[in-house]
Copies of this chain bind each other. A is one copy, B any other.
Amino acid sequence: MSPRSKAQFAALRDKSMAAIKSAALELFGQQGYHFTTVSQIAKAAGVSKGLLYNYYSGKEELLNAIIMDVVEMGEQFLDQLMTAALTPLERITAIVDGSIAMVQSDPHYWKLLTSLSLQINVLDEALTATLKNRQAAANARLATIFREMGYADPERETLHLEATMDGMMIHYLTQLEDYPIQAMRDYILQQYQRFQKPE
């Protein structure tokens, strides 16, 4: 019936949406959310401003879409890791190394995310709530690893690892090659390697 099939329309749409998201991610990461204009994004994506607004209700929704994409990528990473046949220590090592790799491969973007999470009036409440829930779920999974290792308070251990990792990350993001990230990584993992399960 249709001159273009549904699938053709969908392909067109998906392509444009992906181009827009990709351009926005790049620019938000490089310049920051507030300093990036919708015009810049449209131009970088090779589409008109109007088309951008056909697919995203505004600059903020575009940001939300990007963040959700990344959240889901992170969860898939954690899924794979938790279902793989690994010892607890190997899992932790994979998490630490995976996190470092992610941040190293796209530091601008992680600056953006961390910064946004601390800003007021930028992320809308619905998204903030979602992120909180997802974070809690991830924490619970991490805690099972420490429980398996025999830690007395796995939840506290989870929070401690996350604090150290996130702190390390913001220092790395601020200083980049001046920060001894590999040495820090080794030092963090050392503690878990030395841990002896109490009788």
- In whole angstroms, how far apart are the Cα atoms of A132 and B175 in the complex? 9
Q: Which secondary structure dominates where chain A touches chain B?
A: helix
A115 interface residue per 8 A CB criterion: yes
In the complex this chain forms, how many copies of it are found? 4
Q: Please, what's the 1-or-0 string for A41-54, where 1 marks a CB less than 8 Å from any CB in chain B? A: 00000000000000
Our pick among B35, B121, B132, B166 for the contact of A170 (Cβ within 8 Å) is B166
- In whole angstroms, how far apart are the Cα atoms of A175 and B118 in the complex? 10
* Also in contact, A111 and B121, with CB within 8 A (given A163-B164, A166-B171, A167-B165): no
Minimum CB–CB distance from A13 to chain B (whole Å) comes to: 15
* Also in contact, A120 and B30, with CB within 8 A (given A160-B187, A180-B159, A187-B156): yes
Are the C-beta atoms of A118 and B108 separated by less than 8 Å? no
Minimum CB–CB distance from A8 to chain B (whole Å) comes to: 15
Q: Please, what's the 1-or-0 string for A102-140, where 1 marks a CB less than 8 Å from any CB in chain B? A: 000000100110111111111000000000100000000
Q: Please, what's the 1-or-0 string for A149-180, where 1 marks a CB less than 8 Å from any CB in chain B? A: 00000001001101111111111011100001
A98 interface residue per 8 A CB criterion: no
- In whole angstroms, how far apart are the Cα atoms of A187 and B184 in the complex? 19
> Hey, which bits of chain A sit against chain B, CB under 8 A?
30-32, 34-35, 108, 111-112, 114-122, 132, 156, 159-160, 162-171, 173-175, 180, 183-184, 187-188
